Amino acid sequence: MKRFSFLIVLVLVVTQFTYAQGKKEELWEIVLVKNENGQFYQYAPKKVKKPYRFLVIIHGMVGEKSTAKDAARNDIRSTRNISNPGKILKSYAKENGVILIVPIFDKYNYGSYEGPIGGYRGLAGRKIDADVFLNQIIDSYKKTLKGYKGKFSIIGHSAGGQFVGRYIAKYPERIIAASIIAPGTYLSFDEKVDYPYGLKKCCWLLDWKGMAKEDQKIMQYTPDKEKLKEMFKLRIRVIVGSKDTYKYSPYVGQVGLTRIDRGRGWVISAKEYAKSIGVNDNIKFIFLKGEGHRTPKLFASATKGMFRK
């Protein structure tokens, strides 16, 4: 595993974060941090509570005329655009002393369409996998913030929700709570369906667009049932708006055609599977009337109870 080529040094002086490294690209204490495996945004409010609370935001699909950097910035930057959650998330961070981290899953290295198995949605990456990239970011703070153990809460919207649903199944020990907002697919509990859409061992050739044959790698992974048991104990919320009625084609391991049906169906199947393996779950489906695919109320709902004991 490659190590970061930089060191994030955050010194807490009274209640103020001081940035020893990192480019302050915008106002409002939003910092763009770069490393050899990608970039991410960090926002630390002036008053940061101890023990340290980290909330990771996973951005959604990147459009043809936009970049992943744009998508990540829209999830952390406060603007007048009502469909932009930046104001909601920054206000939450300020009120609760929470540090926001938003990884940037760029098209070339982590893209949904440029890469196999949905790119970062399936936790894949060109040089390193998307989940490893996030783990490296979090682990860098473990080294620089005294007392921080590396656990965090996580919110993912749309394609980002697909990432979250798979990440928490693989790394439940890292997670405090998770909110999954309106994804198109989930990790199902069908043992006849290949990962990342089911629990069957996968063997994927990760052939990225334009990649030389000698650089291709094989992904072999089987979801760990013991990890799934731990995942079910987490506070997990699946959130979908009543106006989010786009219809997909039928797809392996997925219940229904809309994000509403798939979200509700996944929660039902998760509860059934948890019961079958003797575990009590803490998973709920939240249906917000009058809301579409990307509105402030979805993100406001997603932040509730993120760090509740």
| Mean pLDDT along residues 277-300 | 96
| Mean pLDDT along residues 61-70 | 89
Average pLDDT over the chain, rounded to whole? 89
Q: Is the pLDDT score of 1 beyond 60? A: no
We report the CATH number of the domain holding residue 214 as: 3.40.50.1820
Measuring CA to CA, which residue among 87, 281, 63, 42 is closest to residue 172? Answer: 281
d(CA 303, CA 91): 11
pLDDT greater at residue 243 or residue 5: 243
Residue reference for tokens 């997990």? 236
114: in domain: yes
264: in domain: yes
How far is CA 294 from each of CA 158, 163, 224, 286, 299, rounded to the nearest angstrom?
9, 17, 32, 15, 8
Domain span at 161: 42-303
pLDDT greater at residue 76 or residue 302: 302
166: in domain: yes
Domain count, the chain: 1
Q: Is the pLDDT score of 152 beyond 80? A: yes
11: in domain: no
| Mean pLDDT along residues 211-239 | 93
Q: Is the pLDDT score of 13 beyond 50? A: no
7: in domain: no
Contact 154, 55 (CB under 8 A): yes
* pLDDT band per the 50, 70, 90 thresholds, residue 60: very high
pLDDT of residue 78: 79
Contact 158, 238 (CB under 8 A): no
66: in domain: yes
Q: Is the pLDDT score of 26 beyond 70? A: no
d(CA 274, CA 272): 5
Residue reference for tokens 């970061």? 4
Measuring CA to CA, which residue among 41, 73, 79, 78 is closest to residue 60? Answer: 73
**pLDDT tens for each residue of 68-90:** 999 999 999 877 676 788 999 99
Look at strands 283-288 and 235-241 and give their pairing: parallel
8: in domain: no
pLDDT of residue 163: 98
pLDDT of residue 29: 78
| Mean pLDDT along residues 30-34 | 91
DSSP 3-state of 255: coil
d(CA 190, CA 144): 41
Q: Is the pLDDT score of 15 beyond 80? A: no
77: in domain: yes
**pLDDT tens for each residue of 196-224:** 999 999 888 888 888 888 888 888 899 99
